[in-house]
Amino acid sequence: MSNCCTLVAKNINLKIAQQQILSDISLSLDSGKVMGVLGPNGAGKTSLLKILSGQLATQNEVSWKNKALSDYDSMSLAQQIAVVNQLNDSVFALDLYQIVRMGLLPHKSLLSRQTPNDKKSIHDAIATVGLENKIKQTFSALSGGEQQRGLIARALVQKAALIILDEPVNHLDVYYQHQVLKLLRSLAHKLNITVIMSLHDLNLAANYCDHLCLLDQGKIVAQGAPQQVLTADRLQQVFKLPCQVTKQAHNAAFRVDFYPPDEMELDEMPASKDPTE
């Protein structure tokens, strides 16, 4: 990896109620790159994202732009890092413009008036995600893919250089999965924004991520380019299913396929001991 990485994490360890959730996690990522965090349920993906975004306070060494996350105050951190989570029901009555406008909060006091530049920033972000014709539509009336794009527009208004997303396409149909991930990759490469997201679908991760981090039982099994990480033997070991990785003849991509185990293999599979994502 590059020697001038924007995000650097060293020896992350997390223990909750005597249970080791993460062990000796070290990673780094350059600006303008997309990293996918992969692994089975309970691998520690959500916990890792919370630590990398500063949501989960630990003694771990995580730095952003050569400054420890612990040295940022909450407002300064929000100006740097946007966390795209699902919204709670209380804000679903707001329209898209009002939702996206929330991205201004890390930069303005509650009593500050909205300036013409603020309005332009909001309109530009909504146009960037292709929702200019939905600007006054109630957020709850938008499709799942449109809502996710709206939340990404909010992150753009926030002017964050790092966007972190936990399963951003988990509840979307296939068309919107590709639409949202294509948008995130485009924003990263064109605007030099760093994107980190957890994903379940390994084929989506292979197609849209520059760098992958594969977790299992709280440890990094492999990290690097998709073709380095997604090998059949490794995936079979982590996901406990027969696996085949097929190179695509017409392009540089490849496909991961899992196959159901026979009855005996299924009976022998160990139960997950760690419900933490």
Summarised one tens digit per residue, pLDDT across range 72-110 is 999 999 999 999 986 666 677 899 999 999 999 999 876
Strands 34-38 and 211-216, how do they pair?
parallel
What's the number of domains the chain is made of? 1
Q: What is the value of pTM for the model shown?
A: 0.88
Whether 122 contacts 55, CB under 8 Å = no
- Please check whether residue 106 lies inside any domain of the structure: yes
Contacts 24+ apart (CB under 8 A), 247-254: 253/206, 253/207, 254/206, 254/226, 254/227, 254/230
- Please check whether residue 177 lies inside any domain of the structure: no
Among 131-145, 223-237, 262-276, whose mean pLDDT is lowest? 262-276
Q: What is the pLDDT of residues 118-168, one digit of tens each?
A: 999 999 999 999 999 999 999 999 999 999 999 999 999 999 999 999 999
- What are the structure tokens assigned to 68, written together? 């420890």
Residue type, 257: D
- Please check whether residue 29 lies inside any domain of the structure: no
- Please check whether residue 148 lies inside any domain of the structure: yes
**Residue 85: what pLDDT?**
82
SS3 164: strand
- Please check whether residue 277 lies inside any domain of the structure: no
- Please check whether residue 145 lies inside any domain of the structure: yes
**Residue 4: what pLDDT?**
54
- Please check whether residue 112 lies inside any domain of the structure: yes
193 closest CA partner among 210, 177, 207: 210
Distances (CA, A) of 200 to 28, 126, 215, 225, 260: 21, 27, 12, 17, 17
* Domain span holding position 122: 89-155
- Please check whether residue 263 lies inside any domain of the structure: no
- Helix, strand, coil content of the chain in percent (nearest 5): 40, 25, 35
